[in-house]
Structure 1
């Protein structure tokens, strides 16, 4: 896609965005930036959220570090001068409520005069729909479209290859899940006294795991739409055979779980790309097969 073409995109808030030419310089929230990188769009910079610090969280970074994409700091404490120096044509964030960008105050983009795209990662969309929306944005920004040929291999179809790899990972996980029957608990550690237990249907990727046959544990009634907050004794009492633990830097490792419980890292902010989820599904399939 030529950068001289007019550009338009409607984000998941229903906001119609446009520019006189296709945006070439993309600044994005880390999760969105890692997904776009996987999909063929390299950001000129990424920023974090309120959970993040002054350095890029390796659990969330995907391929951003290896690609040399600069980290501009946590979003709501971001130095606007640093963002301005990146000369973005567009900013890409995520939204959990379909109303507001998650990590960056929209007023920042308004002061820069730059369109801000917010794509949903909440449970109003299924995981395949979320992946589809990020693919659509990447295509609008000039990523290799489905069916495009490369100079080295005129018959190559990168998008089809990514889809096939994800489908193979899903099939492998479905087959292992059907045999194992292991009860899986997803959680985020908050120190020795507290843990947040994920409600599977509140998380598109966990809900999708359930569709693939993974036996996910519901933490039970109580406050919290996405998490039930309690203590580690409560987590042990749910008798998980495998724990998906939040591997982001702000989370803590599990405390006091029985020695027989298997542990597998889980990033609740996995980049919404086929490649990232194929990797996650394969890791989980290996853990369930042990």
Structure 2
């Protein structure tokens, strides 16, 4: 496994004797005299890089996270011994240097294509290192999101680590397509906000949900209302949609389903699944099992 070192790739990165460069999804070009070896990353990005063969020196959370990492978002980071520094916007230069030592590169995600999601951009400047930000928003397909993380991992030294996992993801998609065609269940993805409130996902706004729809998963329309990614409503409205399967947000900041529609099955969904073939293969496999194991 690479320790955040790597060769450049076309379509976003270059390396070699002329130094290291990578253009992120904001269109910002980062450069360094040599390929970065020590990467600080948002936990979701760090878990994806680890899957792809690059071990970050440390990770940080979002505004939803506290002093302890959310195990649902962290993937294999804890097992790999990658330290978690706390919520990104609460970090300062001293804490990063104390816990992570020298940092060569910061990696975050963006939902709007403009701003890093979890970190104060000025912190990277104070650390004196480039900030690479990759998009995970609904304007991109799942394959595009995963491919971009693969490009960055390759630029950081992970050579050929994702091939087998990509094959497993393809196999998992094929199995899911077959299960979705046979099950015919209406599926509702949601994030619990408390006993009185729930956020219902609009599938087109989430790359992985949009991919599920392409594979034949039949989503229940949350209905009209404000919110590009979520419709915020009450649990009674969710129950009234009569889904056969509820994908519930399994992150620590979300609450479990307060009311389960009669006869509906439950399956976990992590809206911040690490953007790697291995992580999405596992998600597709779990969803396939939920669709197949009907009462």
Q: Do the two structures share a fold, i.e. TM-score over 0.5?
A: yes
- Residue of structure 2 in register with 1:61 after alignment: 74
Which of 25, 28, 42 does residue 15 from structure 1 map onto? Answer: 28
RMSD: 1.2
Which of 123, 126, 141 does residue 111 from structure 1 map onto? Answer: 126
Aligned length: 278
Retained in 1: the 8 A contact 2:137–2:206?
yes
Within 1, Cα distance between the matches of 2:221 and 2:206? 12
- Residue of structure 2 in register with 1:153 after alignment: none
- Residue of structure 1 in register with 2:11 after alignment: none
Which of 119, 133, 136 does residue 148 from structure 2 map onto? Answer: 133
- Residue of structure 2 in register with 1:203 after alignment: 206
- Residue of structure 2 in register with 1:159 after alignment: 162
| 1:177 is the counterpart of 2:180 | yes
What are the Cα deviations for residues 188-243 of structure 1, in whole angstroms up to 9, with x where unaligned? Answer: 00111000000000101100000000011120110111000010000000000000
How many angstroms does 1:84 deviate by? Answer: 2.5
CA gap of 1:252–1:266, structure 2 versus 1, over 3 A, is same
Partner secondary structure for residue 42 of structure 1: coil
Within 1, Cα distance between the matches of 2:22 and 2:191? 34
What are the Cα deviations for residues 41-92 of structure 1, in whole angstroms up to 9, with x where unaligned? Answer: 0000000000001100011010001001000000111233121232110000
| 1:48 is the counterpart of 2:61 | yes
Retained in 1: the 8 A contact 2:61–2:69?
yes
After TM superposition, list the pairs within 5 Å mapping 1:1-290 onto structure 2: 1=6, 5=17, 6-85=19-98, 86=100, 87-144=102-159, 146=160, 158-290=161-293
- Residue of structure 1 in register with 2:3 after alignment: none
- Residue of structure 1 in register with 2:12 after alignment: none
Retained in 1: the 8 A contact 2:242–2:261?
no
- TM-score using structure 2 length: 0.92
Partner secondary structure for residue 162 of structure 2: helix
Within 1, Cα distance between the matches of 2:71 and 2:164? 26
- TM-score using structure 1 length: 0.94
How many angstroms does 1:112 deviate by? Answer: 1.1
Within 2, Cα distance between the matches of 1:232 and 1:57? 25
What are the Cα deviations for residues 254-282 of structure 1, in whole angstroms up to 9, with x where unaligned? Answer: 01213521110100000000000000000
